[in-house]
Amino acid sequence: MTDPTGSAGAPGARLAAAMRPVPVAEGAAVSVAVLDADSGQSAGYGEGTFVTASVVKVGILAALLLQAQDAGRGLTARERAYAAAMIGHSDNDSASALWRSIGGAAGLDAAHARLGLTGTTGGEGGLWGLTRTTAADQLTLLRQVFGDESELSAASRTYLQGLMERIAEGQDWGVSAAADGSAWALKNGWLPRSATGLWVVHSVGRVTAAGGTRLVAALSHGNATKEQGVALVESAARAAVSVFAGGA
């Protein structure tokens, strides 16, 4: 995903430089991926897999929409209610209901394969939040949600985008920190790991900044507090968006 030349002017090199001043606490890790929608150029920073926490809810809804498309139907009123609560308010009960509807990990993995994700594996049983993913895969999913070339129909994309633009107050942090005003659509995830007490904090979405549109996936784990994780992904998102400020 990064520019293979590694030249100073390449997006990957610019992102690495932009990430240098971002403070990462000892024991924490961050990975970020960004796409400039106008030029089609992308860059990534950081490696490894992360448990998704609630950012998987975008994938769950994408899987449901694909299944509904295949069946030639729209979503039911109940499915729409679950989807709105799951995305807008990060409601876990709604996510669990739709997780069962899509067939759990098998349904999610099948949808992800169709959408081009290669490094994401659904969580076992009902543990959708323990799905494992990469920043690169989350950027691929964002391309499917916000791009024109997608397995998702135009109607499905418009619907999912609309939900990601209506996030409840208090859950609207993250990649939105890199946007101009309210020009964003996102989904966040946050989860304290029971074994360590350390926090997984992620943010994925679309932002408009400096006259351009960027897709950004910022993932982190090992944070001592949720607030520390929020600050980290917001800093990473700002760094990522700055790579394409003023044109690629």
Q: What is the pLDDT of residues 106-125, one digit of tens each?
A: 999 999 999 999 999 999 99
pLDDT of residue 6: 41
Give ∠ CA 230-137-74 in degrees, rounded to 5: 95
pLDDT of residue 211: 83
Domains and CATH numbers, the chain: 24-242 (3.40.710.10)
Residue 234, token pair as written in the block = 């917001």
Name which of 78, 62, 40 is nearest 153 in CA terms: 62
pLDDT of residue 181: 84
pLDDT band, residue 182 (cuts 50/70/90): confident
pLDDT of residue 110: 98
Task: Examine the pLDDT at 153 and tell me if it is beyond 90.
Answer: yes
pLDDT of residue 129: 98
pLDDT of residue 139: 98
pLDDT band, residue 2 (cuts 50/70/90): very low
Q: Buried b / exposed e across 193-226, counting CB within 10 Å, b at 16+?
A: eeeeebbbbbbbbbbbbeebbbbbbbbbbbbeee
Q: How many helices (H) and strands (E) does the chain have?
A: 8, 7
- DSSP assignment of 82-105 equals HHHHHHHS--HHHHHHHHHHHTHH
- Rounded mean pLDDT, 158-166: 98
pLDDT of residue 9: 67
pLDDT band, residue 210 (cuts 50/70/90): confident
pLDDT of residue 245: 80
